[in-house]
Structure 1
Amino acid sequence: MASPVFSSNSAFKPGQTYDVNGKAVTEADLEQQYAMPSAGPVDTGRMSYEGVIAKASGMVLLAFLTAVPGYMFFSYAGLFVSAIGGMVLGLVLAFKKTTTPALALLYAAIQGYFLGSLSTYIETAFEVPGAALQALLATACTFAVCLWLYKSGRVRYTPKLQKFLMIGGISYLLFSLVNIGFMIFGGTDSAWGLRTEYDIMGIPLGVLIGAFAVILGCVSLIGDFDFVENGVKNGLPQRFEWTAAFGIVVTLIWLYIEFLRIIAILQGRD
């Protein structure tokens, strides 16, 4: 004999189907469900390409909006505070298992203001008007090319590329730290430190380092696209769309800064 909990409840009797709300499903309901198209990722609460695109686009748009006051009303305090705030918040998000939507949007807003302020500073301090627009176009073109290369199957995020990104990223970080130390302790009067202190075959070291950083950024973008594809295929929960969007935006910010610096070094030469 079954437990009274089950035997007294008609829901557990054979021959009847119920929906998630406990309502009995009729034969007409079943026929209607059968005729409907299969549920997509959004319907099942899974990660989707559309969701990642929407969230990444929203973050980029927000960054554009907050970049306007940073660009038009420059202040050293705003540049410094937004730089520190963006870096700290970026590290917090990077080490979280899942990306909180509110923090991701806040990160985009702060970084947008920082990029706007940085762009004005570069254009005025180094007398390179139009550098921001050039860097923006270069970033957009690089993103489009990397996306095309990945979608066409010409480039994949292989273990070799992963190793290159890891080793290259660590090397670039070490160079940046050495360069900052070189500038702080008076090793050079150059505004860019070692980047403009030395030339290799007539090309400033900063341009070569910047080109290397752009290549690393491209590989990082390929890795971001790979994460999105694997996440959708593996049916990751929808909340990981914010993680994917955050990763893409971080890479785009990195690329923009590198392009801005390369342009400033090239156009700012005597």
Structure 2
Amino acid sequence: MRSSNPVLKRLTKEEQIDFSYRMTVEGTINKTFILFMIVMGSAFVLWNRYLEGGVDAIGSWMWIGVIGGLIAALITSFAPRIAVVVAPVYAVFEGMVLGGLSAMYEQRYQGITIQAVGFTFGVFLVMLMIYRFRLIHITAPFRKMVVGATLGILLVYFVDLIMSFFGSQLTFIHNSSPLSILISLFVVGIAAFNFVLDFDMIEQGSKIGVPKYMEWYGAFSLIVTLVWLYVEILDLLRKLKDR
């Protein structure tokens, strides 16, 4: 069987035909739930630290989460075999980021966190239904478009991060102008389409019979997209409330 997914392409033929210990959709769902609960637990801890000590009590922890999450994500992306170990670590770091970020937004915009959570799960369910009923066909051009747009967004964010070290920013992605809101909507859309690629990767993996450790990689991919979508929706709501 052939696959257009680059991660699946890296697997050896022996790994792809090992049906005695293979990836399943059910197994991936279970591991996604485990990672999600780790994220929520870590976020709850940092949220409580914020309530007890304010912004000063979580600032350094959030930066640890950002840096640690980035390193864990890079390791898992290039070494899917060790996702069983690194993916839970990533979930802890990302929970720290989400807990602190959500608390800080909630302080300024009452009710924004629950709205962001609701919209995030709403988008997730919509994309799941779209994929389930094959309303979108995963073709090579579609995959390239989504991956290309995702890499482009990450590049812009990286440039903005570098500029922030020198006291500057790309204001058009941070202010609440109509252009900035349109950009946020575009980014939310790309993040949502990444769910479709994740679902496809998991389904392909289960059909081909890739090794069991790929369940952790599939779960990791879903959590990465879920975290990204939540942060983007949170920021979009912030822009709308500032209008």
Query: Structure 1 regions of 5+ residues with no counterpart?
Result: 1-42
Larger proportion of helix: 2
Q: How has the CA–CA distance of structure 1 residues 114 and 197 changed in structure 2, closer, same or farther, with 3 Å as cutoff?
A: closer
Alignment of 1:1-270 (within 5 A): 44-74=20-50, 75-124=58-107, 127-181=108-162, 183-187=164-168, 193-197=171-175, 199=177, 203=178, 205-269=179-243
1:207/1:262 contact within 8 Å kept: yes
Say which one has the larger Rg. Answer: 1
The AA in structure 2 aligned to 1:144 is: L
Whether contact under 8 Å (2:128, 2:196) holds in the other structure is yes
| Displacement of 1:193 | 2.6
1:138–1:259 Cα contact (<8 Å) kept:
yes
Is residue 191–residue 228 contact of structure 2 (8 Å, CA) maintained in 1? yes
Deviations 1:210-241 (A, max 9, x none): 11111111221101111111111111121111
- In the TM superposition, what is the alpha-carbon distance from 1:176 to its structure 2 partner? 2.1
Give the 3-state SS of the residue equivalent to 1:88 in structure 2.
Answer: helix
Contact 1:221 1:248 in 2 (8 A): yes
Structure 2 unaligned residues grouped into runs of 5+ = 1-18, 51-57
Query: In 2, Cα distance between the equivalents of 1:197 and 1:252?
Result: 24
Deviations 1:158-205 (Å, cap 9, x if unpaired)?
Answer: 1121121132123212332343455554556xxx83224573xxx2x3
Question: 1:54, CA displacement in angstroms?
Answer: 0.2
Q: 155-164 or 168-177, which moves further after superposition? A: 168-177
- By relative contact order (CA 8 Å, sep 6+), the higher-ranking structure is 2
Which amino acid counterpart does residue 120 of structure 1 have in structure 2? Answer: A
- Over the matched positions of the two proteins, sequence identity in percent amounts to 29
Q: Which runs of 4+ in 1 moved over 3 A?
A: 177-188, 196-199
1:42-85 deviations in whole A, cap 9, x for unaligned? Answer: x9321111100000011001111111111121211111111111
Per-residue deviation, 1:249: 0.6
Kept in 1, the 8 Å contact 2:84–2:216? The answer is yes
Alignment RMSD:
2.0
Q: Distance in 2 between the 1:250 and 1:170 partners?
A: 14
- Give the structure-1-normalised TM-score: 0.75
Whether the aligned pair in 2 keeps the contact of 1:224 and 1:247 (CA below 8 Å) is yes
CA distance in 2, matches of 1:197, 1:181: 18
Q: Matched residue of 2:20: which SS?
A: coil
Partner Cα separation in structure 1 for residue 213 and residue 144 of structure 2 = 28
Shift of 1:259: 0.5
Q: Supply the AA of the counterpart residue of 1:76.
A: G
Deviates more, 1:149-158 or 1:245-254: 149-158
Instruction: Name the TM-score, length of structure 2 as normaliser.
Output: 0.82
Residue identity matched to 2:171? G
Separation in 1, partners of 2:162, 2:64: 21
Distance 1:194 1:267 in 2: 17
CA separation in 2, counterparts of 1:250 and 1:184? 25
Task: State the shift of 1:123 in Å.
Answer: 2.4
